[in-house]
Amino acid sequence: MKYSARLWQPLTLICFALLGACTPVTQSTAPAAQTQDMVTPAENLRDRQPPTDAQRFSIVAANSELRVLAFRDGPMARFGHNHVIRSGALSGSVWVAPNVTDSLVRMVLPVDSLMVDEEAFRAEEGEEFSAPVDDKARAGTRKNMLSDKLLNAAEHAFVRATCATSDALILTRPGTIACDIMIAGNTITVIMPLTLSIDGTQLEAIGEATVRHEQLGLTPFSAAGGAISVADGLTLRYKILAQRLSN
């Protein structure tokens, strides 16, 4: 059986890299940030338990990916790079219940798994990411991203998400899912769309969105009095593949 719906994979909160360590590249434009309010107060979804009558799917890290595109901005943006931030280390489970509103998703992402500006993935993103990034700049950007001023990886080694939907028709038409996200010691709830398909024992979720830093509870990086900064619009791309477990 195969069917489609829209849900959300939200570990996309890990969405920025610093621009200060980069060398000049051609000017480019960040995507316009969405105006929809996608953040609501945390709803304690973490307290929910998986339903006993649900089919359980396990996320396959090797076939899943979180990718974030961060764009440079400011009067001196030419001295920065656009950045590709990526992780292929997502793990967790999806419980699909007969009553879809009882379904549950739990995911974990090691913060240290986030990589910055890998050449192969920059090449996939086209002209705006075509300028080379040397090892020193790449390392400096990643060090700043994981520092206590941003993701604080030393004290908060994992990003965790618990997700559920209240949309009973989500398996037959576009819908939304709410996710409690724990990141860098904070918890917020993000509501976003996602496209889901289940074919036999395999579940696949793919999608893309553009969000503002404020929606994610983050402050855009800036330096030199704002002359170099991260643009407000962050492009989030994700692919989640999960395999059904035997009951």
**pLDDT, tens only, 100-155:** 889 999 999 999 999 999 999 999 988 888 888 889 988 988 998 898 877 889 99
CA–CA separation, 64 and 241 (whole Å): 5
Q: Are the C-beta atoms of 119 and 135 separated by less than 8 Å? A: no
CA–CA separation, 159 and 142 (whole Å): 16
More confident site: 24 or 111: 111
**pLDDT, tens only, 191-222:** 777 778 888 899 988 777 777 656 665 655 55
CA–CA separation, 25 and 29 (whole Å): 12
Radius of gyration of the chain (CA): 18
3-state secondary structure of 47: helix
Q: What is the DSSP letter of 67?
A: E
**DSSP readout, 204-225?**
EEEEEEEE-TGGGT----EEGG
**pLDDT, tens only, 41-92:** 555 788 888 989 999 999 999 999 999 888 865 444 454 678 899 999 999 9
**Would you state the pLDDT for residue 160?**
93
**DSSP readout, 104-139?**
EEEEEEEGGG-EE--HHHHHHT-GGG-S---HHHHH
CA distances, 10 to each of 15, 74, 210 (Å): 11, 28, 12
For residue 146, give both structure tokens.
């994981």
Task: Tell me the Ramachandran region of residue 126: left when phi exceeds 0, alpha when psi lies from -120 to 50, beta otherwise.
Answer: left
* Beta strand segments in the chain, E: 2-6, 39-40, 55-59, 65-70, 72-73, 83-87, 91-96, 104-110, 115-116, 158-164, 177-183, 186-192, 195-199, 202-211, 222-223, 228-230, 234-244
Amino acid (one-letter) located at 12: T
How large is the average pLDDT for residues 5-18?
A: 37
How large is the average pLDDT for residues 223-232?
A: 51
Q: What is the pTM of this model?
A: 0.76
Q: What percent of the chain has pLDDT over 90?
A: 29
**pLDDT, tens only, 27-47:** 445 565 443 445 555 557 888
